[in-house]
Structure 1
Amino acid sequence: MREARGWVEHLLAHLPLALSGEDPEGVHQVRVAGRRLRAYLDLLGFRVLKDDLRFLVRQAGRVRDLEVALGKDLPQGFREHLEAELKEARRSLVALLRSPWMGALLRALRHLPPLDEKRAGKRLERLEARLEERWARLEAQPTLENLHAFRRALRRVRYAKEFLGLSAKREKALQEVLGEVNDLKALRDLLEAYLHGREDPEAQSYLEGLESALAAATREALGDLGLRPIPGG
């Protein structure tokens, strides 16, 4: 029997650091714990709490993406925009983490039942079947969007396997291959949002270089998977 207790404790342990904002690792680990616990709910077959964890992960992910982006050499106007966005995102996350909603979520997570390994194994098979579907779609159309969908399905399978004490070395290795693509895509999305309705020649030039870097990273990741990208995809 496997339990969620370890990741609930992990979440609790990193809340103070996430609240302080002193170390980006605090927010990162809140997001990791949220994703792990969603995988646990997949194995339980529970729908309850999944939307709550998705919301927590999304809010923490917004802060994390901005922190990662600001660690790069950026055009000044874009940097100032992201700093303002990060300040607001942190404010919203802190309010969420201190809210009664968060307290109720933590209480509910503490009472999740242990896994029935036989039933959980069947649910893992469904997650693996979904991953195979994502892989087939990626093989047919090796685009950035399909690569991103494959990566998300891959992560869910990895976390589910680890809850069941199964080897997930292959899934973990593939995640690492796809990590740079995900970071570049997140930065590209932030930059496009910044440029929407705004004139900034320096940032526009930076976007062109970023698009080239993202295309190259995507080609490399697809190559590592034995695939070739669709031109312009």
Structure 2
Amino acid sequence: MKGPAAWVEHLRAHIPLALSGEDLEGVHQVRVAGRRLRVYLDLLGWRVLRDDLRRLVRGAGRVRDLEVALAGPWALPPGFRRFLEGELRLAREALPSLLASPWTGALLRALAVLPPLEEGRARQALGRLTAKAERRFEALARHPSLEALHAYRRALRRVRYAKEFLGLSSKREKALQEVLGGLQDLEVLLGLLAAYLLQATDGEALAFREVLLAERGRGLAEALPRLGLRAGAWGWPQ
């Protein structure tokens, strides 16, 4: 079994990078570390500090979403790109109040003294996380929606992280998470585009939306068979 120390140090090391904006991995790795440490708390059976880590991850989320949108493979319409750049400046201005605050320092100190895992308790917690992922999958199969798909992806990610703390293979979870992660990036980009179109009349952006929707259809057609599901049975694009 692995302890939390490496991820606490990972979090500590990437906070300055996230604040500087010099490395796009900075904010992303802050979120990765925060999510992994939340799973460690699950394995401990602790509720304390979970809300703090959730606040950390969500607080950095806006910056990360905008960075991914701007750095992605898409040829963004000029007006939409300017909108994203403006939103990223605003999001970055808010980041120091979270990551450079005394609250974050106190959180790091608390995380640094987390106890080691007790194997029996940790394996029971893994069982609960696995059962939750299975319930999410069953809900997805019964009532297919993008929301249910992403809920399953998040549950799958927690199972992966828990297995890695326990020294167990997580190849399946990692592979599925990577497939579904691309769909989530598309959903985020579509959401940002929708926000832009609420305030702008932009024919190029409307055409770009159709491109993204078609790509989402192709992504679903690729991802769902990997899960043992058929897009056509749900009326989703094949």
Match of 1:168 in 2: 170
1:99 equivalent to 2:101? Answer yes
The separation in 2 between residues aligned to 1:27 and 1:137, in whole angstroms, is 32
Q: What does 1:17-32 correspond to in 2, within 5 Å?
A: 17-32=17-32
Q: What does 1:8-87 correspond to in 2, within 5 Å?
A: 8-71=8-71, 72-87=74-89
Q: What does 1:1-233 correspond to in 2, within 5 Å?
A: 2-71=2-71, 72-229=74-231, 230-231=234-235
Contact 1:155 1:171 in 2 (8 A): yes
Structure 1 residue 204, shift from structure 2 partner = 1.5
The separation in 1 between residues aligned to 2:80 and 2:199, in whole angstroms, is 14
SS at match of 1:22: coil
How many residues in Structure 1 have an aligned counterpart in Structure 2? 233
The separation in 2 between residues aligned to 1:200 and 1:139, in whole angstroms, is 37
After TM superposition, the score normalised by the length of structure 1 is: 0.95
SS at match of 1:78: helix
Structure 1 residue 220, shift from structure 2 partner = 1.3
- With 119-128 and 137-146 compared, the bigger mean Cα shift is at 137-146
The separation in 2 between residues aligned to 1:2 and 1:114, in whole angstroms, is 8
Structure 1 residue 102, shift from structure 2 partner = 0.6
After TM superposition, the score normalised by the length of structure 2 is: 0.93
Unaligned stretches of 5+ residues in structure 1: none
Structure 1 residue 226, shift from structure 2 partner = 2.1
Structure 1 residue 187, shift from structure 2 partner = 0.6
Contact 1:142 1:222 in 2 (8 A): no
The separation in 2 between residues aligned to 1:142 and 1:51, in whole angstroms, is 29
Structure 1 residue 197, shift from structure 2 partner = 4.3
Contact 1:144 1:218 in 2 (8 A): no
Structure 1 residue 117, shift from structure 2 partner = 1.0
Structure 1 residue 195, shift from structure 2 partner = 1.5
Structure 1 residue 228, shift from structure 2 partner = 1.5
What is the one-letter code of the residue matched to 1:120? A
Structure 1 residue 199, shift from structure 2 partner = 2.0
Contact 1:14 1:27 in 2 (8 A): yes
Provide runs of 4+ in structure 1 moved above 6 Å: none
Structure 1 residue 232, shift from structure 2 partner = 5.1
Structure 1 residue 186, shift from structure 2 partner = 1.1
What is the one-letter code of the residue matched to 2:214? S
SS at match of 1:165: coil
User: What do the CA deviations read for 1:128-172 (whole angstroms, capped 9, x no partner)?
Assistant: 000110111122233222111110000000001101111111111
What is the one-letter code of the residue matched to 1:231? G
Contact 1:34 1:56 in 2 (8 A): yes
Structure 1 residue 3, shift from structure 2 partner = 1.8
The separation in 2 between residues aligned to 1:227 and 1:143, in whole angstroms, is 12
Contact 2:2 2:165 in 1 (8 A): yes
The separation in 2 between residues aligned to 1:200 and 1:27, in whole angstroms, is 30
Structure 1 residue 52, shift from structure 2 partner = 1.2
Contact 1:142 1:228 in 2 (8 A): no
